[in-house]
Amino acid sequence: MKKSAVTLLLPALLAVLVWMPLLFLAGGSFMGVVELTENLAPILTDSSGYASWRLLPQFPTLRPYIELLLDSPQFFVMFWNSVKLTLCILAGQFLVAVPAAWGFAQYRFPFKNFLFTLYVVLMLMPFQVMMVSSYLVLDRFSLLDTHAAIILPAVFSTFPVFIMHRFFCSIPNAVIESAALDGANKLQIFLYMGVPLGAPGILSALVLGFLEYWSLIEQPLTFLRNKTLWPLSLYLPNITADKAGLALAASVVMLIPAILVFLYGQSYLEQGIIAASVKE
């Protein structure tokens, strides 16, 4: 017992460091204007001394949230932009990547290994490497400054294909064969056997995708000049004395969907992370 307590010291210490920012944010978002101003005065108003912070607000209030959700049309537009972008990307990935992953996992065709290796290499390229090529093709199709500029390249990301492929490969051959013996055609096998049996893999890819696309920064910054199209991840009100509460509340609202998806999908998230690491 004693030994285990000692060895847990390091993880426990790190855990506190991980949680601290979240507690700060959550606490701060319920503080009133007066309390925030008092805490942050040295930063906000150039007065002397240093900023301070309490974990729990002295006089908790929902004012910042009400103000944000009711009186900030700009925030609302950006929130819906984020929802729209994320949902369209995930739906598109589902329609394109699931059949592709199934095709790679189940069938043999010429150049298959070459194509799959190509998919892996493309999935490993960071955005900065691909940004010129994306820009050129989006420009060619006049898609710049539209939501399609963010959605379409993401839909054809090869990463979800790779993740789902891992899970489809693990479906036992006998299951597929018995369905074929019962007279199911290829589409039926895919829809009634493949999709349900590969569901954990599909969910893994979608959970990883959600967390990625909910906090998109580079793509909208690069391809969207029109700020009314920007997603929430680029909503950064300046911290001024009267807006500090608003900014904190916005941070928390942005965080909530991601946390919910995380809590619901943690096991899929882990499976997805592990699947991405399996050696070919």
Pick one of 31, 68, 85, 97: the residue that binds another protein (CB under 8 A).
Answer: 97
* Position 162 contacts another protein (CB under 8 A): no
* Position 142 contacts another protein (CB under 8 A): no
Cα 280 to Cα 9, 33, 116, 201: the distances in Å are 37, 56, 10, 17
Residue 268 · residue 210 · CB < 8 Å: no
Q: How far is the CB of 232 from another protein (least distance, A)?
A: 7
Start-to-end CA span in the chain (Å): 41
Which listed range, 54-62, 64-72, 156-164, 197-205, lies at the site for another protein (CB under 8 A)? Answer: 156-164
Site for another protein in 30-59 (CB under 8 A): 40, 42-43, 49-53
194 token code pair: 């493949």
Which listed range, 61-69, 83-91, 169-177, 195-203, lies at the site for another protein (CB under 8 A)? Answer: 169-177
CB closer to another protein out of 228 and 238: 238
- String marking each residue 63-92 x if it binds another protein according to CB under 8 A: ------------------------------
Q: How far is the CB of 59 from another protein (least distance, A)?
A: 19
* Position 1 contacts another protein (CB under 8 A): no
Q: How far is the CB of 206 from another protein (least distance, A)?
A: 14
Site for another protein in 212-231 (CB under 8 A): 214-215, 217-218, 221-222
Pick one of 103, 184, 193, 197: the residue that binds another protein (CB under 8 A).
Answer: 103
Which listed range, 54-62, 64-72, 102-110, 197-205, lies at the site for another protein (CB under 8 A)? Answer: 102-110
* Position 117 contacts another protein (CB under 8 A): no
Distance CA 147, CA 71 (A): 25
Q: Which of 182, 187, 192, 163 is nearest to 105 (CA)?
A: 163
249 token code pair: 């509340």
Q: Which of 260, 95, 82 is nearest to 161 (CA)?
A: 95
Residue in the structure block whose two tokens are 């929430």: 232
Residue 91 · residue 134 · CB < 8 Å: no
* Position 126 contacts another protein (CB under 8 A): yes
Q: Which of 102, 104, 100 is nearest to 113 (CA)?
A: 104
Counting residues that bind another protein (by CB under 8 A) gives 99
Distance CA 105, CA 270 (A): 21
Site for another protein in 179-198 (CB under 8 A): 186, 190
Cα 193 to Cα 163, 172, 186, 187, 268: the distances in Å are 18, 11, 10, 10, 20
What length is written for the chain? 280
Pick one of 115, 178, 240, 242: the residue that binds another protein (CB under 8 A).
Answer: 115
Site for another protein in 236-265 (CB under 8 A): 236, 239, 247-248, 251-252, 254-255, 258-259, 261-262
